[in-house]
Structure 1
């Protein structure tokens, strides 16, 4: 069975965007970007909420407009990924993407049973719902050495406790830290 992994970039004080909605604090240097390029090879499917999907559309043509080999490589990897988009307002998507047709739990259950690589989920609201439903198997976070003091938190408040185990970590010259945790299940 495939794992569902919630991947995100966050400030040290726990925000995925600042108070104005910007994510410019999470601008990876060459070393970290190469790490992301390598990390993406673990996936063949991304599940997005509307807003994150629209932000990620940059990668649909980045290989045609940028000459940086790291950017071009990431764009080509991203374009090949299957993307499932959850939206109540969108009627079409581009490239290798489709709109979800089932509720989140059903869509994820079907994806997890299908053959393939790991599945990434992104978009704070959508991922929060997957967390609440206890469908996330691993959490991958890159922490940036910055305090934003406010903005959108990486996690909303939960009514239950989720036990996690650290399974991987890496530090970067920029001061960023990548951490991967797996969900400890008692079933």
Structure 2
């Protein structure tokens, strides 16, 4: 049985994107990049909302894995490309090999099936997708970057309280903190 983790980077005040859009306040440090590679190495599949898929796919399959890029980025690009990817979208029409399109009407049933079929960790990314699949998420991961965004897109746009239990809390040398939560 697989485990679904929801992982997004956020500002200290809980935003994954600035009010005007963009994530340029998440300047990844070397220690964060190494840590991300370690996590991604253990992922069995990526489950992305459309916007996160579009932000990840092109750079990590076409630009950042090329010769001349830092070794840590080339490694992430290789790991990313080797991992099956699912994009949850009603508008995406064409995807490259290694990517599967899932329509919103099928999202919960597909994730339930993947969770049953894949013995490993499935990384869910994208706040709206996570909110729509909240009951299927086993763990919530957040890397909090040392910046206050002051508004924008929240880490998880839910309208009800969801009690969690902190099971891991670490601070990287760069000041980025990692927190891992599970349901009590």
1:112 match? 115
Give secondary structure in 2 for the equivalent of 1:72: helix
Matched, 1:45 2:45: yes
In 1, are the aligned partners of 2:44 and 2:118 still within 8 Å (CA)? no
Give secondary structure in 2 for the equivalent of 1:103: helix
1:128 match? 131
Q: Which runs of 5+ in 1 are unaligned?
A: none
2:88 match? 86
Structure 2: distance between partners of 1:105 and 1:12: 30
Query: Structure 1 residue 116: deviation in Å?
Result: 3.1
In 1, are the aligned partners of 2:131 and 2:158 still within 8 Å (CA)? no
2:71 match? 69
Matched, 1:98 2:100: yes
Give secondary structure in 2 for the equivalent of 1:47: strand
Q: Please give the root-mean-square deviation of Cα atoms over the aligned residues, in Å.
A: 1.3
Query: Structure 1 residue 177: deviation in Å?
Result: 0.3
TM-score computed with the length of structure 2 as normaliser: 0.93
Hey, which bits of structure 1, 4+ residues long, moved more than 2 A?
A: none
2:152 match? 151
Number of positions where the alignment pairs a residue of Structure 1 with one of Structure 2: 181
Structure 2: distance between partners of 1:157 and 1:100: 22
Give secondary structure in 2 for the equivalent of 1:67: coil
